[in-house]
């Protein structure tokens, strides 16, 4: 799924519709598996906000925003909803489960 504010607001409904049609779904929003989605892989948003604090500090100390480097998120998370996988008749490989930051049982 796309990562946009509109999708974020509708993620529970999207997960419900996907379950009705037996479609596995993947999102970049880490909260998606909490709402019934199968899997989420994307940046850890609280960690990203922490990174932003470093930028703000540098700007307040006089750095020009245009001179600051572009940084990618420092931490990505993999979250899997095992209940959704079971409902869809999917088997998540053990190698993926051990790599997950969180598995929702």
Domain count, the chain: 1
Inside any domain, residue 53: no
Report how far residue 94's alpha carbon sits from residue 20's, in angstroms, rounded to the nearest whole number. Answer: 26
Inside any domain, residue 62: no
Report how far residue 75's alpha carbon sits from residue 103's, in angstroms, rounded to the nearest whole number. Answer: 17
Domain that holds residue 30: 5-45+76-104
pLDDT of residue 12: 92
Inside any domain, residue 87: yes
The larger pLDDT score, comparing residue 46 to residue 83, is at 83
pLDDT of residue 2: 73
Four-residue CA torsion sign, 31, 37, 102, 30: negative
Inside any domain, residue 64: no
Closest-CA residue to 78 (of 104, 40, 45) = 40
Coil, helix or strand at residue 21: coil
pLDDT of residue 45: 82
Give the model confidence (pLDDT) of 54-105 as tens digits.
989 999 999 999 999 998 888 899 999 999 999 999 999 999 999 999 999 9
Give the model confidence (pLDDT) of 1-34 as tens digits.
777 888 888 999 999 999 999 999 999 888 899 9
Q: What is the CATH number of the domain that holds 28?
A: 3.40.50.2300
Report how far residue 81's alpha carbon sits from residue 27's, in angstroms, rounded to the nearest whole number. Answer: 12
Q: How many residues does the chain have?
A: 105
pLDDT of residue 1: 74
**What are the E-state strand segments in 1-105?**
26-27, 39-43, 76-81, 102-104
Report how far residue 63's alpha carbon sits from residue 2's, in angstroms, rounded to the nearest whole number. Answer: 33
């Amino acid at each position: 799924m796309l990562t946009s504010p509109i999708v974020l607001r509708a993620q529970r409904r999207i997960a419900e519709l996907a379950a009705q049609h037996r479609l596995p779904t993947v999102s970049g929003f880490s909260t998606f598996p909490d709402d019934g989605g199968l899997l989420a892989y994307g940046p850890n948003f609280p960690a990203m906000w922490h990174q932003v604090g470093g930028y703000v500090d540098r700007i307040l100390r006089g750095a020009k925003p245009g001179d600051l480097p572009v940084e990618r998120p420092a931490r990505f998370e993999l979250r899997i909803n095992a209940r959704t996988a079971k409902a869809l008749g999917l088997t998540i490989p053990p190698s993926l489960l051990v790599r997950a930051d969180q598995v929702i049982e």
